[in-house]
Chain A
Amino acid sequence: MELSAHSINSKAPYKVSQSTNLSFTFTTDNGNVYEVGFLLDEMLLPDGVYQFFIMENSGNPMTKDDKIMMTIVAIMEEFFLNRDVVLDYICDTSDSKQSLRFRLFRKWFANYHNNTIFTFRPLSIEYDSISYYGAVILRKDHPMYDQFMIELEAFEHELADKLR
């Protein structure tokens, strides 16, 4: 899989630069630097599931800026041009703010799409005394949609049972 900065830049308010074939960086008006990207995650399937990452690495204070969301949306739209892919997202737990991060991500996603195109399936798991929050997102016209959703439900139970 490969994503194109050229295509993203035709829609995004901030100009993105490509870091790797699946990662992009952009700088906001107030100097915040964001890295956004994807990496193949083989936990659920051998291929076709990518984990989504977002990181702000300038250390500047965050400010409300709708252009950040619009840029991330443009990157996600490029990712989901392919209807066969699945996105998963696991909130960073390093500062114990994963539940806050998850609520923000869910709100962003709810603002961005309507339920006719995508399914946003939240997931949570307790492991080693840490609460992990995440989600799986896929297009409703994914060729294996029904089977995937049924098996995901079973997988979630298996995770909860075996990692308890």
Chain B
Amino acid sequence: MATKKRNQKREPVFKAQVVNLTVNGQVHALEMGSGPGDIEPFHTLSHTLRETLGLTGTKISCDNGACGACTVLIDGKAMLSCMTLTIECDGKNVTTIEGLGDPKTGMVDTLQQSFIDHTAFQCGFCTPGMIMSAKALLSENPSPTEEEVKEGLSGNFCRCISHYHVVKAVLAASEK
């Protein structure tokens, strides 16, 4: 991206002018600023992913850290992107729902396929966050018990009550 000229203002200089963020394996050098495509200090990671990078798979539901819909992996950990400032993500490695499976062939991964096979969703709005939480769980605990699955997903809100199917799907994916 071309460097923009910046008006001289009497504000302290940002410590970070560019935020280097890797999302689904692709490196983005996101410039701080107020133009289109820039990052403002108050932008949350969920906003950046959805609006700046066009990755709308991550959903915003409560936007206040209480429902898990916006869950992504940051350096492998399940984190709430709506409660994360993009400006604080310099050097981080983010995985969103779009980063699972193979983008070239459109094939989904084992966990996603298990969600399909068990119809582990109804309206589907909470599903991306649900899958990312499950992904984080399985990476730390590849063979969880049913209780451990439930605890791992305890921060994810689903109102259609796909819970029972989700638990089955995650357990099925974990045995493979």
Do the two chains bind?
no
